[in-house]
Amino acid sequence: MLDDLHINDFYRDAGRTLLALFNQFPAPATVYVEDIAGPDTPDEFGLHSPRHLACLGAISWLKQSGYIHFTQLVRQEAVEEAVLSHRGFLLLVGKNDAGESSAHRLNEAVRNGSSPQLQELMEGLMQRFAAL
């Protein structure tokens, strides 16, 4: 059995990033990697931890996949002028049959949900995003 911890971390980092930008929308914001992944512990050479770099990778992936926009990366520590894309915004304001927004469900899953619940929600959101 493969250890999917890195995938669980990806879903949590991606979800937290989307929520951070949703809560600031439409104003562009600086998103600090430590605010998403937690405190970093650089090594003796000042290199960021693998966990920090994985979170930065998730944020970059969100941009490359069209969920968010940002103007620049700041020394592997933050992204500047980050904002949800049009499709990213539509994804999060979309409602389910119970009338609950995707942003609300994502917030609940990030705060209180288990990894399988978060994975299921994020995969569902990604499928919806592809159909937008």
Residue pLDDT, tens place only, 83-130: 999 999 999 999 887 889 999 999 999 998 788 889 999 999 999 888
Give me the residues paired with residue 4 across strands.
Answer: none
Structure tokens at 39: 């405190």
Confidence category of residue 1, pLDDT binned at 50, 70, 90: very low
* pLDDT tens, position by position, 96-106: 878 899 999 99
SS3 112: helix
Q: Where are the strands (E) in the chain, listed by range? A: 29-32, 68-69, 72-74, 78-84
- Side chain identity, residue 35: D
Number of domains present in the structure of the chain: 1
Q: Give the structural domain span for 53.
A: 5-131
pLDDT, mean of residues 71-77: 92
CA 34 → CA 8, 24, 38, 90, distances in Å?
17, 17, 5, 27
For all residues of the chain together, what is the average pLDDT? 91
